[in-house]
Amino acid sequence: MSGDEQAISFSTFAISLATNAAVFFGDIAEPGSSTPAEPNMEGARHMISVLEMLQTKTQGNLTPQERELLEQILYELRMRFVEAQQGEKRIIEP
Protein backbone atom coordinates (compact mmCIF):
# COMPACT_ATOMS: atom_id res chain seq x y z
CA MET A 1 0.00 0.00 0.00
CA SER A 2 1.17 3.49 -0.73
CA GLY A 3 1.73 6.13 1.93
CA ASP A 4 -1.49 7.90 0.91
CA GLU A 5 -3.54 4.77 1.54
CA GLN A 6 -1.91 4.28 4.95
CA ALA A 7 -2.01 7.94 6.00
CA ILE A 8 -4.04 8.59 9.09
CA SER A 9 -4.86 11.99 10.41
CA PHE A 10 -5.87 13.04 13.88
CA SER A 11 -9.40 13.58 12.59
CA THR A 12 -9.75 10.09 11.11
CA PHE A 13 -8.33 8.61 14.31
CA ALA A 14 -10.83 10.52 16.49
CA ILE A 15 -13.69 9.52 14.18
CA SER A 16 -12.64 5.86 14.34
CA LEU A 17 -12.79 5.99 18.15
CA ALA A 18 -16.24 7.60 17.95
CA THR A 19 -17.34 4.84 15.57
CA ASN A 20 -16.21 2.26 18.11
CA ALA A 21 -18.33 4.02 20.72
CA ALA A 22 -21.33 3.84 18.37
CA VAL A 23 -20.78 0.08 18.12
CA PHE A 24 -20.70 -0.18 21.91
CA PHE A 25 -23.92 1.85 22.15
CA GLY A 26 -25.51 -0.68 19.79
CA ASP A 27 -26.21 2.08 17.28
CA ILE A 28 -24.30 0.46 14.42
CA ALA A 29 -23.16 -3.06 13.65
CA GLU A 30 -19.59 -4.21 14.13
CA PRO A 31 -17.62 -4.54 10.91
CA GLY A 32 -18.48 -7.87 9.35
CA SER A 33 -21.87 -8.06 11.06
CA SER A 34 -25.23 -7.00 9.71
CA THR A 35 -26.96 -6.33 13.01
CA PRO A 36 -25.90 -4.19 15.96
CA ALA A 37 -24.96 -5.99 19.16
CA GLU A 38 -26.56 -5.36 22.51
CA PRO A 39 -25.38 -2.10 24.08
CA ASN A 40 -22.19 -2.31 26.13
CA MET A 41 -22.27 0.79 28.30
CA GLU A 42 -18.93 0.04 29.94
CA GLY A 43 -17.30 -0.18 26.51
CA ALA A 44 -18.94 3.08 25.45
CA ARG A 45 -17.81 4.77 28.67
CA HIS A 46 -14.27 3.53 28.03
CA MET A 47 -14.23 5.01 24.51
CA ILE A 48 -15.41 8.36 25.87
CA SER A 49 -12.65 8.22 28.49
CA VAL A 50 -10.05 7.48 25.80
CA LEU A 51 -11.22 10.50 23.80
CA GLU A 52 -11.17 12.67 26.94
CA MET A 53 -7.61 11.53 27.64
CA LEU A 54 -6.68 12.30 24.05
CA GLN A 55 -8.19 15.77 24.42
CA THR A 56 -6.16 16.41 27.58
CA LYS A 57 -2.89 15.08 26.18
CA THR A 58 -3.17 17.02 22.92
CA GLN A 59 -4.29 20.33 24.45
CA GLY A 60 -2.50 23.19 22.72
CA ASN A 61 -1.22 20.94 19.92
CA LEU A 62 -4.28 20.62 17.69
CA THR A 63 -5.37 22.78 14.80
CA PRO A 64 -8.57 24.73 15.43
CA GLN A 65 -10.45 22.29 13.18
CA GLU A 66 -9.10 19.23 15.04
CA ARG A 67 -9.93 20.77 18.42
CA GLU A 68 -13.46 21.62 17.28
CA LEU A 69 -13.98 18.12 15.87
CA LEU A 70 -12.83 16.50 19.10
CA GLU A 71 -15.04 18.79 21.20
CA GLN A 72 -18.04 17.99 18.98
CA ILE A 73 -17.40 14.25 19.09
CA LEU A 74 -17.14 14.30 22.89
CA TYR A 75 -20.28 16.40 23.23
CA GLU A 76 -22.27 14.04 21.00
CA LEU A 77 -20.99 10.91 22.74
CA ARG A 78 -21.70 12.31 26.21
CA MET A 79 -25.25 13.21 25.17
CA ARG A 80 -25.67 9.75 23.65
CA PHE A 81 -24.41 8.19 26.88
CA VAL A 82 -27.06 10.07 28.88
CA GLU A 83 -29.74 8.98 26.40
CA ALA A 84 -28.59 5.38 26.58
CA GLN A 85 -28.54 5.46 30.39
CA GLN A 86 -32.18 6.54 30.25
CA GLY A 87 -32.97 3.56 28.05
CA GLU A 88 -33.43 5.51 24.83
CA LYS A 89 -32.62 3.67 21.65
CA ARG A 90 -31.20 5.38 18.60
CA ILE A 91 -31.68 4.13 15.10
CA ILE A 92 -29.08 5.27 12.64
CA GLU A 93 -30.25 4.96 9.07
CA PRO A 94 -27.66 3.74 6.57
Distance CA(20)–CA(72), nearest Å, equals: 16
Distance CA(94)–CA(88), nearest Å, equals: 19
Q: pTM of this prediction?
A: 0.83
More confident residue, 68 or 4: 68
Question: Are 77 and 21 within 8 A, CB to CB?
Answer: yes
More confident residue, 94 or 50: 50
The domain segmentation of the chain, as residue ranges, is 3-85
The 10s digit of each residue's pLDDT in 10-39 is: 999 999 999 999 999 999 998 888 898 899
> What backbone torsions phi and psi does residue 31 show, to the nearest 5 degrees?
-55, 135
Q: Is pLDDT at 6 greater than 70 in this prediction?
A: no
pLDDT for 7 equals: 78
pLDDT for 93 equals: 46
The 10s digit of each residue's pLDDT in 37-93 is: 899 999 999 999 999 999 999 999 999 999 999 999 999 999 999 999 887 666 554
Residue 80 C-alpha from the chain's centroid: 11
